[in-house]
């Protein structure tokens, strides 16, 4: 089966996306894989599988490779005497801005490119942590209490110490700090505001249980991965998450009973249905006093969380077979023809 992996993008998570693409390449060996790299200038390049190495991108060697543009239903490689068209189905593997903020979703919908990934509305609600809170509240899903600060506003924080400060629109724990005492607040805010003009402040609960669950829609069913309890010291910092992006081996399932597992699945289903169809997502949860709280929704998780699925290739095949079909507006100019007929034109 032919599939194109789209990766890169103009975001702080650009390099993580490259690592994800290289990892997924190994996990989808039975596919006829193509690779499309989006550089920081938003140019697309067709990368041969043999060139899928970190140095290809770090050295700029990709610029010598075929450049692609978009047309309705396809990517186009323009040559001197002809143009080659590629009607790929695409796996969107761009983390952060471009891939998860709705940019690529809007672009692919506009050009009628078939893709695995969050659609525009799903991207909006999962990319910005403030909107994720609003979504969860509307769905009756618990979240930690929070407050929002802006870079051009006052730095008055009501949340009691210790608390965690994180950019509203960034993943991989980039720009995140745990603040234990008042003397650390200004520095933590400076770090977060380097990456975003708004930040989320939440209470930090030491030793809280965290669980990851991935899944995707397959017709009327949702296919769930195993539930993982990530191993962490204080919280999942950038280094631990970065290593997760390159993880290719499976992990051990969390030590929870069947009733707890079903609780996680039901909350996941509530979040996923009617919004994330067409995407493989991962939800990161807290469990506090047997209650489940959503921490983050990862609409394009690192390496697609391949290590959480027993058969990742089968999961991608099933997802490709169940992509949503966008409803097209029927344009027949009946209204204009009627007006012209009345006017006698």
Query: Cα(223)–Cα(314) distance, rounded to whole angstroms?
Result: 11
As a dihedral over the C-alpha atoms of residue 246, residue 36, residue 91, residue 95, rounded to 10 degrees, the angle is: 50
**How many contiguous H segments (helices) and E segments (strands) does the chain have?**
10, 16
Q: Which two tokens stand for residue 28?
A: 């989808």
Query: Cα(3)–Cα(25) distance, rounded to whole angstroms?
Result: 11
Chain region(s) in the chain for CATH 3.40.50.20: 2-116
At residue 141, φ and ψ (nearest 5 deg) are -105, 135
Chain region(s) in the chain for CATH 3.30.1490.20: 147-203
For residue 345, the model assigns a pLDDT of 59
CB 145 within 8 A of CB 202: yes
* 163-167: strand order across its sheet: 147-150, 198-203, 163-167, 177-179
For residue 344, the model assigns a pLDDT of 66
**318 C-beta neighbours (distance < 10 Å), count:** 16
For residue 256, the model assigns a pLDDT of 95
Give the bridge partners for 298, in sequence order: 282
Name the architecture of domain 2-116: 3-Layer(aba) Sandwich (3.40)
For residue 12, the model assigns a pLDDT of 87
For residue 242, the model assigns a pLDDT of 47
For residue 238, the model assigns a pLDDT of 44
Taking domain 123-142+207-320, whether its CATH number is 3.40.630.10 is answered by: no
Range list of β-strands (E), the chain: 2-8, 32-38, 44-47, 67-71, 74-78, 83-86, 90-92, 115-116, 147-150, 163-167, 177-179, 198-203, 209-218, 221-228, 280-288, 291-298
Q: Which two tokens stand for residue 204?
A: 């930090």
Chain region(s) in the chain for CATH 3.30.470.20: 123-142+207-320
Consecutive sets of 10 residues in the chain, 345 residues long: mean pLDDT of each? 96 93 94 97 97 96 97 95 95 96 97 97 96 97 97 94 93 86 96 94 93 96 96 54 54 92 98 97 95 96 92 97 87 85 70
Q: Give SS3 for 276.
A: coil
pTM: 0.90
Rg of the Cα atoms in the chain: 22
CB 122 within 8 A of CB 276: yes
Query: Cα(273)–Cα(135) distance, rounded to whole angstroms?
Result: 12
Name the residue with tokens 């952060």: 96
Name the architecture of domain 147-203: 2-Layer Sandwich (3.30)
Give the burial class of 46: count Cβ atoms within 10 A of its Cβ; 0-12 exposed, 13-18 middle, 19 or more buried. Answer: buried
CB 44 within 8 A of CB 69: yes
As a dihedral over the C-alpha atoms of residue 117, residue 3, residue 252, residue 296, rounded to 10 degrees, the angle is: -10
152-160, long-range: CB < 8 A, 24+ apart: 152/197, 155/185, 155/186, 155/189, 157/185, 157/201, 159/201, 159/202, 159/203, 160/203
The pLDDT tens digits for 226-274 are 999 987 655 544 445 445 555 556 678 999 999 999 999 999 999 999 9
């Amino acid at each position: 089966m032919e599939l194109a992996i789209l990766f890169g993008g103009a975001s702080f998570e650009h390099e993580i996306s490259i690592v994800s693409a290289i990892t997924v390449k190994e996990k989808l060996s039975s596919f006829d894989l193509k690779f499309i790299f989006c550089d920081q200038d938003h140019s697309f390049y067709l990368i041969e599988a043999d060139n899928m190495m970190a140095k290809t991108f770090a050295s700029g060697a990709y610029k010598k490779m075929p450049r692609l543009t978009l047309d309705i239903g396809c990517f186009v490689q323009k040559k001197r005497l002809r143009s080659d068209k590629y009607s790929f189905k695409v796996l969107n593997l761009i983390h952060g801005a471009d891939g998860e903020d709705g940019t690529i979703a809007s672009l692919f919908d506009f050009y009628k490119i078939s893709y695995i990934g969050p659609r525009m509305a799903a991207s909006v609600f999962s990319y910005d942590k403030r909107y994720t809170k609003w979504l969860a509240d509307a769905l009756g899903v618990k979240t930690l209490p929070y407050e929002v600060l802006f870079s051009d506003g006052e730095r008055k924080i009501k949340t009691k110490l210790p608390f965690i400060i994180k950019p509203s629109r960034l993943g991989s724990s980039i720009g995140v700090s745990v603040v234990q005492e008042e003397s650390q607040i200004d520095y933590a805010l400076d770090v977060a505001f380097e990456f975003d003009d708004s930040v989320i402040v939440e209470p930090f609960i030491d030793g809280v249980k965290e669980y990851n669950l991935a899944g995707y829609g397959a017709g009327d069913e949702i296919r769930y991965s195993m539930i993982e309890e990530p191993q962490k010291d204080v919280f999942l910092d950038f280094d631990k998450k970065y290593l997760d992006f390159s993880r290719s081996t499976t992990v051990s399932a969390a030590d929870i009973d069947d009733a707890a597992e079903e609780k996680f699945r039901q909350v996941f289903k509530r979040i996923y249905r009617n919004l994330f169809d067409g995407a493989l997502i991962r939800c990161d949860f807290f469990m506090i006093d047997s209650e489940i709280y959503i921490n983050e929704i990862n609409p394009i998780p690192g390496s697609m969380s391949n290590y959480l699925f027993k058969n990742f290739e089968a999961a991608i095949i099933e997802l490709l077979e169940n992509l949503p079909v966008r409803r097209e507006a029927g344009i027949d100019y009946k209204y204009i023809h009627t007006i012209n007929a009345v006017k006698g034109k």
